[in-house]
Chain A
Amino acid sequence: MQTALRTSLPETELASRASFAPHARVAREERQEERRVQTTGLPLSIRGLRKSFGDNEVLRGIDLHIPAGQFVAIVGKSGCGKSTLLRLIAGLEKIDAGSIGFGQDVQPEDIRVMFQEPRLLPWARVLANVEVGLGRDRASKDAHARAEKALTEVGLADKRDQWPSVLSGGQKQRVALGRALVSRPRVLAFDEPLGALDALTRISMQRLLERVWRDQGFTAILVTHDVSEAVALADRVLVIEEGRIAHDVVVSAARPRQRGSAELAGLEGSILSHLLSADDRT
């Protein structure tokens, strides 16, 4: 679906140029090296994964290895099974065949998902909504403190006592991010988390995602319709076609990345042409 794909926005470039001063860049690059060494993320191995809904064969054998701490983006045309793959990884659907392994036993708190809708409890204050993310640790004594810390990380400490209904769409999504982060997950799966946001909010959320990923070192899997978002954030972009991974594109550009740079634009163009040619064939 051509219409569903976005190309890079001119304001993206301006915004990102303004944000990175040269000295900050050096510091961040050092931090990135550090993160590679001591990542808290889990590796992910998927073998021969299949999933059907009735006669509809959605995933027809996915083989994939994601190293610990990698940021992977998944793109593909609407209905190709991106959400299904994510839901299988998060354990929300039953696997028909194949396997998904994390290299060790995982706790439910280790894997978190964030959706396009914030899914906040309207009858709980912002802080209580973040506490939900603690899972079985909800009742622990430091629950409050941990939730407040997560809320500070997403920049909403001052909204802790508000009802979700008074927040803007972007703020709600940040609360949802805080809730996903509060248990210090080792794998974080995003299903178009920024899909419903306007262009500017989307850019600031992309920066926030990248920042928390760098700080916490979880393995990130991002499903998105926006190819420019995929190449700007991910170490690697997977294109799903006909239930399989059709392309596996490495984005080697150094971070922090220059939005709309020739390198990213080239990658984006080639991924888009993959998607469009698949669309023409069907």
Chain B
Amino acid sequence: MSLIDSISLPRSVRLPRLDGLVQWIVPLAIIAIWQVACVTGFVPTRVLPAPSDVALAGWKLLLSGELVRNIWVSFWRASIGFLIGGSIGFAFGLANGLSQLSAKLTDTTLQMVRNVPHLALIPLVILWFGIDESAKLFLVALGVFFPIYLNTLHGIRTVDPQLIEMGRIYGMTDGELFRRVIFPGALPSIFVGIRFALGIMWLTLIVAETIAASSGLGYMAMQAREFMLIDVVVLSILIYALLGKLADSASRVLERLTLSWHPAFQKR
């Protein structure tokens, strides 16, 4: 997206300080319209509470410490699940990208497992783990595994063979070849996998926490539903959106830092 922006906008029109703010105009406008619609009674507050009510509910939960505790629990589950699933996916992607034998041995099996929607396993997972932490971690890890696995594998397989041959001609050892040619070449694709995985991570966590949990944001939303606290339900949804955006921004920053050589990321 940054590529298209920077091409289509002539240099003189770009105002760097406004650039960062522009993306917030639409969300702020939506909130403003929403507020007006609620205050004027156009939308009944039983259907959708006003943003100010949501903010108030958030403030109360913040004071009671409940909000921070639930966000922290969800954040922790998401990160640990992501780390576990991501590293296993990355390891399999590396192994199957680098070794024919390993690919022959495991790729078909993995492709079969991939076709089972991981959320379909929820009943089974609850039977196995009950509703304690391992159930949620397992589901998140499983969801994250495949995008990372597939994109790491794809990245490694599509590294330019001419560059690999060049590395060999110039006497690189296997380790050097991996570090200097194969890994950097696969990195753009790995980042695509990470961004996919982040989306799946939140989705899995919401579903898992809504169905089987005794803490976390999804649990907070379910509890609120039972007590008809619609402002807390809306609050939870907004927080999910924010956390998702945060994770995406973090991966973008990382991408920018590590792919600065890529024409798409070059400052001009």
Contacts and interface: CB of A to CB of B under 8 A. Distances in A.
B169 interface: yes
Interface residues of B, number: 19
Contact of B163 (A108, A109, A119, A135): A119
A168 to B, nearest CB: 14
Interface string B188-221: 0000000000000000000000000000000000
B3 to A, nearest CB: 13
B184 A92 contact: no
B165 interface: yes
B165 to A, nearest CB: 7
A163 B261 contact: yes
Given A113-B169, A133-B170, A121 B263 contact: no
Nearest to A91: B169
Interface size class of A (residues with CB under 8 A): 20 to 34
Given A115-B162, A121-B184, A90 B262 contact: no
A132 interface: yes
A122 B159 CA distance: 12
B169 A90 contact: yes
Given A92-B165, A115-B162, A122 B261 contact: yes
Contacts of A123: 184-185, 187, 259, 261-262
Interface in B159-185: 162-163, 165-167, 169-172, 180-181, 184-185
Contact of A121 (B169, B180, B187, B262): B180
Nearest to A117: B162
Nearest to A112: B169
A111 B198 CA distance: 48
A165 B259 CA distance: 13
B262 to A, nearest CB: 7
Given A123-B261, A133-B170, A163 B266 contact: yes
Contacts of A166: 266
A109 B171 CA distance: 8
A115 B163 CA distance: 11
A124 B166 CA distance: 14
Contact of B171 (A113, A124, A135, A165): A135
A136 B171 contact: yes
B139 to A, nearest CB: 35
A165 B264 CA distance: 10
A150 B259 CA distance: 27
A101 B185 CA distance: 36
A95 B159 CA distance: 27
Contacts of A165: 261-263, 266
Interface in A51-81: none
Contacts of A135: 170-171
Nearest to B167: A132
Contacts of A119: 162-163, 165-166
9 contacts: A112-B169, A119-B163, A121-B163, A121-B180, A121-B184, A123-B259, A132-B167, A132-B172, A165-B262
The 5 closest A-B pairs by CB, nearest first: A135-B171, A123-B184, A123-B261, A119-B166, A165-B263
Given A122-B262, A123-B259, A165-B266, 5 more contacts: A90-B169, A119-B166, A121-B184, A122-B261, A179-B170
Interface of A: 90, 92, 108-109, 112-113, 115, 117, 119, 121-124, 132-133, 135-136, 163, 165-166, 179
Interface of B: 162-163, 165-167, 169-172, 180-181, 184-185, 187, 259, 261-263, 266
